[in-house]
Amino acid sequence: MPRVCTRSVLPVLSLFAIGLLVFSGCGPRSADVKPSSAIPSRTEISATSGTKEAPAALSAQDNAQEAYQDGSRFETDKKYADAAASFGQAVTLDPAFTDAYARLGFVQIELRNYPEAVSAFKKQAETSPQVPDKMASAHSNLGYAYGLSGNLDQAISEYVKVVELTPNNSDAFATLASNYAEKGLVAEAVNAYQRALELQPGNRETMRALGMLCRDNNLLVEATHVYGRLYALDNSDPQALRSLAWLYLKLESYPRAIDMYRRLFAIGQGSVSERLNLATAYEKNSQPDSAIVEYERMIQAQPENTQFYCSLAFLYADSKKAAQAIEIAKKGLDIKPNDACLNCAWGTALEKMSDYEGAIGKFELAAGDMQWGEFAKKQIEKEQKLIKRKGALKEKEELGY
């Protein structure tokens, strides 16, 4: 959903939910406001004669104000259909009632009547005073309604008008950027977010939005730079730590990935999947012992997950700890008998122990598996060659040459 542009006076919608630009003047128009004592009673008593005068007739604008106030009460009570009727009556009585058009537009949004909201906000734009902030508010509301109705092209067009009218409004650029992103215009979105951050460098919400946009579109270096700024603002920000750790891992900057994951776990925010990433970073950084510790922790957290047993068994085997590899593989097979991955890990460990015949037996158990079958068959061929080589060496020793 596109980002929303705000009106500060509406009690039923929060500042964050509605958006980014302030909707100005949402009460009765200041020129039209009358204190209640100034509205004459229908039975006003003359102070001089004591005789009753005829009720004073209310003007169309007075009636429009009353309808507007009724609409405001209905909106506060979340009676949006009644509010729409009252605001509609207000603009019928006073076709230049800008604020009533705006309020009508927002209650139509609450009713999911997006075309009617667009119409109301168009009238707000037409009747709005020719002042940049007020004109920007109207175009922002119109862009919001277009976005909700699925017309992103028109929404973007309106938000472009907003930033032209208020070129120093960082929220306006961020709103435009989010609409560009939803449309798939990545370069335009990045530029708009960067402009927003130039105007408001410490806006963490905008940084997160830009970082996610870059990450999702494989702009990994740019994403790292953005999340680095977030981290600089708060080195205990879980999102910044998590994102930087993942990005460094993807960029094969393994020492940095390890550092970020360790910091994430130090503040109690790491998940099991992130511990798996940390183990992977340790492996890639030639730190198998540290990776083994992480896999053991994963098994403690999820003792039924045989994939962790398999990965740990392979890691033990590759670290020349074949006995530990076989022990872990056996534990995994107790949970999931005949698991192809575990049998392959066991076979690999037996190969490290020069038990090639035993290794073939384990690989044969996995040869028919869809995922591990090809690996197992290649390993069987390898073991057969190793057996022949072993036999040839033995024959040479026996013959003395």
CATH assignment of the domain containing 111: 1.25.40.10
The domain in which residue 381 lies consists of 303-401
Look at residue 56 in the predicted model and tell me its pLDDT. 53
Which residue type does 200 have?
Q
Q: CB neighbours of 81 closer than 8 A, spacing ≥ 6? A: 111
pLDDT at residue 354, rounded to an integer: 94
pLDDT in tens, 353-387: 999 999 999 999 999 999 999 999 999 999 999 99
Burial class of 87 by CB neighbour count within 10 A (0 to 12, 13 to 18, 19+): buried
The residue from 201, 233, 268 where one domain ends is 201
Is 310 domain-assigned?
yes
Q: How many CB atoms lie within 10 A of CB 389?
A: 11
Q: How far is CA 143 from CA 6, 178, 199, in A?
A: 12, 12, 22
Q: Which residues of the chain have pLDDT under 70?
A: 1-57, 394-401
pLDDT value, residue 33: 29
Q: Whose structure tokens read 């309604």?
A: 145
Which pLDDT value is given to residue 58?
72
Q: What is the pLDDT of residue 46?
A: 32
| ∠ CA 88-93-94, rounded to 5° | 95
Q: Quick one: 194 and 213 in the same domain? A: no
Domain count, the chain: 3
Say how far apart CA 183 and CA 342 lie, in whole Å: 46
- Are 396 and 281 part of one and the same domain? no
* Cα–Cα distance for residue pair 317/163, rounded to 1 Å: 61
Q: Are residues 246 and 129 in the same domain?
A: no
Residues 161 and 221 in one domain: no
As a whole number of angstroms, the distance between CA 261 and CA 253 comes to 12
**In the chain, count of helices (H) and strands (E)?**
20, 0
Q: Is 43 among the domain residues? A: no
Say how far apart CA 335 and CA 324 lie, in whole Å.
Answer: 17
Q: Are residues 176 and 230 in the same domain?
A: no
Is residue 35 in a domain?
no
The domain boundary, picked from 201, 235, 252, lies at 201
Q: Using one digit for the tens of pLDDT, what is the confidence trace for 138-178?
A: 999 999 999 999 999 999 999 999 999 999 999 999 999 99
Shared domain check, 125 and 25: yes
- Bridge partners, residue 52, by sequence: 45
Same domain, 277 and 159: no
94 and 196: one domain?
Answer: yes
